[in-house]
A and B are shown apart, each in its own frame.
Chain A
């Protein structure tokens, strides 16, 4: 890596800390410390959710200002005199010098989805404090570091993908393992996300009506952009969002329209609908459905996040959740089984550390970065923003009455599905709630709320409380469905984009042995690859929906561990590259989160595979169910012998997948260890980094351009306009 510190933006010699900045940062640190102290010390009295919010914001600010700057300047030694791939290979398509703020928006829209919304909601069963600490500390030292470092290394390699970099920098075996892991993990992620949507829409005609209408709305936008007024994206997005709001309001009248029965769909029907939808979306031209839906989803994403932040500050709700519940230590929580360690760190993946981001941070985004120093704001800053979304979701889940929270999130087998049985179950957990309370809560959002697992309904319920408190007007049911719509929209966008990416990966892989198959416009290949991908996640989804034990508490751990194992692969690559570049003394920067992540994922995998507690270990569960079956009995919440067979089958399958993921990561880490030893002996090894080319463009580094940077940009633009002699 270059050690040049010259700065073409002409920001001048680095000035020492001035008084103003010392005062400001001391103030930020004091605010953060006070908020953390309030969270740590308040017990028994009402705690305001704003302490969490401001503890997070102050911590992010300090981490961004100091730690990310240290990583950029001292560890990676970003070099703004070096041309980025976007500058060298500019083609106006994938390689494209992009304004840093625009790219920040694109990157954020690509990394943020339903994950940071769902995980914290489920983790709230252990109290608000474990989740808060992990989301904030995790993002600062692990998640944001991973995103930034991977983005940097990919940028130095012309935007190579994670899999390519693992193969070239660690070895072929590790590369193949990474490729399989990435594909398998993507399938699991799609299945779990789809399961969240299915659980949110099942038996909810209002939800089905609104979400269903997004398809004709997106098609209309697509045709508008193609034939009526080509390219007018802002205008069509405004129209689309207006139609979307009408669709949500209209959903409230499904009864009057006589559509309620037709739109009350079972879980199984919804699975079929989603699978068909995923297949069609994958083979249709993108302009018809995928691109316009993406505009809507991005707009809603940014809009709702801003709305939620404003709503939280205005409503300033008090936390109903305990700081740490008993489930953290006894591991018997009804939402998901297992103790705080390791399962909080698995359940909250996105928002603290998400391996999936490494796929976006390598590949797409690095091909558009204008200046090397901008990886700090886009990679590290983008992830901080996602972490903020996770914190907001955690707060939304923690302001709900805990009796309602557990009624919504325990599996139907446990709650029995009626207000009476659910209240009895929740009272048995040690929370007090009456059937009338549950009925009143259900009436307020005009939905049933017993065993609406998956996180999305709970989040929507919490958001509806916050929004009705903040903005008034008694629109609880509207806000609930607004929130459901926003989550479902994200997820469907992730599902159709993910299916398409999966299809391209599959075509590319098979293309290695059968060349023609790699042609993405060849219809037989496109259709068959789409079908394979859709069936793969559709199968997992089907299994999850039919799971007598509740699909989410079975599949979500698998999803979380898979996502964190992907992070382990990304951090392994980053650590190896530190050694290969001869930067062993800074290998701890990705190394510490790597070690932590490996401890967490390997402990969790071990427990999921080998634990003899049937609530945790997949194989223990299968054998307990088998014993029950052999004794001619039912098992757990199973109601029929067929349920018992289903439990045996599902648990065995999940156990095998779990073990396979862990083994793939072990293969990669072992390969990496060999490379690291070689690199230490040699004091560094050659890498595939692209040699330096002098940069000609000028652009600021951070969110706000300094006065010097603005001046430098102005000079540079003037010199470009001047005729070349």
Chain B
């Protein structure tokens, strides 16, 4: 892999982490390692939204 391609894929990975989309990737990878059937993306995201519901984060001025 060329250096440029490596950089681009690295930046893409960071972006997915920043948006939280990487959580899904990690979850699927973990299920695969443990040999469990992952839940649907919809159910997974709903679960995450419920967590956010109860952990509000202040935004500063």
Let me know if B1 is at the binding interface, CB within 8 A.
Answer: no
CB within 8 A of A497: which of B19, B21, B44, B58? B58
Q: In the complex, how many angstroms separate the beta carbon of B34 from the nearest chain A beta carbon?
A: 14
CB of B46 to closest CB in A, whole Å: 7
Q: Is A481 an interface residue (CB 8 A)?
A: no
* A11 CB, nearest partner CB in chain B, Å: 21
Residues on A with C-beta less than 8 A from B60 are 110-113, 115, 350, 354, 356-357, 359-360, 494
Report the separation of the CA atoms of residues A11 and B5 in the bound assembly, to the nearest whole angstrom. Answer: 27
Q: Mark A496-519, 1 if CB is under 8 A from B, else 0.
A: 011011001000000000000000
Task: Please tell me which one of the listed residues A234, A354, A520 contacts residue B16 in the complex, with CB atoms under 8 A apart.
Answer: A234
Is A176 an interface residue when CB atoms closer than 8 A count as contact? no
Q: Does A231 contact B (CB under 8 A)?
A: yes
Among A93, A113, A231, A521, contact of B21 (Cβ-Cβ < 8 Å): A231
* Cβ-based interface call for A230 (8 A): yes
The answer to whether B51 has its CB under 8 Å from any CB of chain A is yes
Q: Are A234 and B15 in contact (CB under 8 A)?
A: yes
- Asked if A101 and B45 sit within 8 Å, CB to CB, the answer is no
Contact with A along B16-59 (1 / 0, CB 8 A): 11111101100000000000000001101110010111111111
Apart from A92-B23, A498-B59, 4 more pairs, CB < 8 Å: A114-B61, A291-B52, A349-B61, A360-B60
CB distance from B49 to the nearest CB of A (A): 4
Which of B15, B46, B49, B56 is close to A500, meaning CB atoms less than 8 Å apart? B56
Interface residues of chain A, those whose CB is within 8 Å of chain B, are 92-94, 98-99, 101-102, 105-106, 109-115, 186, 189, 193, 225-226, 230-234, 237, 285-287, 291, 294-295, 297, 349-350, 354, 356-357, 359-360, 364, 490, 493-494, 497-498, 500-501, 504, 520-521, 563
A105 to B46, CA, bound (A): 24
29 A-B interface contacts by CB (under 8 A): A92-B23, A94-B55, A99-B14, A99-B17, A110-B59, A111-B60, A113-B59, A114-B61, A193-B61, A226-B46, A226-B49, A230-B41, A230-B44, A230-B45, A231-B24, A232-B21, A233-B19, A234-B15, A234-B21, A285-B53, A286-B49, A286-B52, A286-B53, A349-B61, A356-B60, A360-B58, A364-B58, A497-B58, A520-B53
Q: How far is the CA of A352 from the CA of B25 in the complex (A)?
A: 39
Please state if A102 and B18 are interface contacts (CB–CB under 8 Å): yes
Closest to A112 in B: B60
Question: Known interface pairs A99-B17, A234-B16, A234-B21. Does A498 touch B58 (Cβ–Cβ under 8 Å)?
Answer: yes
| Complex: A105 Cα to B18 Cα, angstroms | 8
Chain B residues lying within 8 Å of A297, measured Cβ to Cβ, are 59
User: What are the residues of chain B within 8 A of A189 when measuring CB–CB?
Assistant: 61
Query: Closest chain B residue to A117 by CB distance?
Result: B61
A34 to B28 alpha-carbon distance, docked (Å):
55
Residues in B whose Cβ lies below 8 Å from that of A186: 58
| Most A Cβ at <10 Å: residue of B23, B44, B55 | B55
Evaluate contact between A93 and B61: CB separation under 8 angstroms. no
**Contact among A110, A115, A287 for B49, CB-based, below 8 A:** A287
Contact of B14 among A102, A114, A287 (CB under 8 A): A102
Question: How long is the Cα–Cα vector from A106 to B54 in the complex, in angstroms?
Answer: 18
* B54 contacts across to A, CB distance below 8 A: 520-521
Closest to B15 in A: A234
The answer to whether B61 and A113 have CB atoms under 8 Å apart is: yes
Is there contact, CB below 8 Å, between B53 and A356? no
Give Cα A234 to B49, complex, Å: 16
Assess whether B57 is in contact with A364, with CB atoms less than 8 Å apart.
Answer: yes
What residues on B are CB-neighbors of A291 within 8 Å?
49, 52
When distances are taken between beta carbons in the complex, the residues of chain B under 8 Å from A225 are: 45
In the complex, what distance in Å separates the CA atom of A105 from the CA atom of B14? 10
Q: Could you tell me if B41 and A501 are in contact, using CB atoms closer than 8 angstroms?
A: no
With contact pairs A99-B14, A115-B61, A360-B60 given, residues A287 and B52 touching in the complex (Cβ less than 8 Å): yes
> A105 to B45, alpha carbons, bound, how many Å?
22
Contact of A93 among B18, B41, B55 (CB under 8 A): B55
Q: When chains A and B are docked, how far (Å) is the Cα of A350 from the Cα of B60? A: 9
B52 cross-chain contacts in A, Cβ below 8 A: 286-287, 291
Expressed in whole angstroms, the Cα–Cα distance for A599 and B19 within the complex equals 42
Chain B neighbourhood of A364, CB < 8 A: 57-58
When distances are taken between beta carbons in the complex, the residues of chain B under 8 Å from A294 are 59
Is the Cβ of A494 less than 8 Å from the Cβ of B41? no
B20 contacts A497, CB within 8 Å?
A: no
Closest to B13 in A: A99
Q: Is the CB of A101 within 8 A of B55?
A: no
Question: Which chain B residues lie closer than 8 Å to A231 at the CB level?
Answer: 20-21, 24, 41, 44-45
Separation of A725 and B51 alpha carbons in the complex (Å): 36
CB distance from A469 to the nearest CB of B (A): 29
Residues of chain A within 8 A of B59, CB atoms compared: 109-110, 113, 294, 297, 490, 493-494, 497-498
Query: Once the chains bind, are B61 and A563 in contact (CB under 8 Å)?
Result: yes
Residues in chain A near residue B58, CB distance under 8 A: 110, 186, 356, 359-360, 364, 497-498, 501
Q: Chain A residues near B55: list those with CB within 8 A.
A: 93-94
Specify which of B17, B45, B52, B60 lies most central, judged by the most chain A CB atoms within 10 Å of its CB. B60
A6 → B minimal CB distance (Å): 29
Specify which of A94, A99, A285, A356 is in contact with B61 (CB 8 Å cutoff): A356
| Contact present for A106 and B41 (CB under 8 Å) | no
Contacts of B53 in A (CB 8 A): 285-287, 520
Nearest residue, chain A, Cβ from B11: A101
- In the complex, A483 Cα to B25 Cα: how many Å? 36
CB distance from B12 to the nearest CB of A (A): 9
On whether the beta carbons of B17 and A98 are closer than 8 Å, the reply is yes
Closest Cβ neighbor of A111 among chain B residues? B60
Question: What's the minimum C-beta distance from A166 to chain B, rounded to whole angstroms?
Answer: 17
Could you tell me if B14 and A286 are in contact, using CB atoms closer than 8 angstroms?
no
Nearest CB of B to A287, in Å: 4
Determine whether the beta carbon of A237 is less than 8 Å from that of B45: no
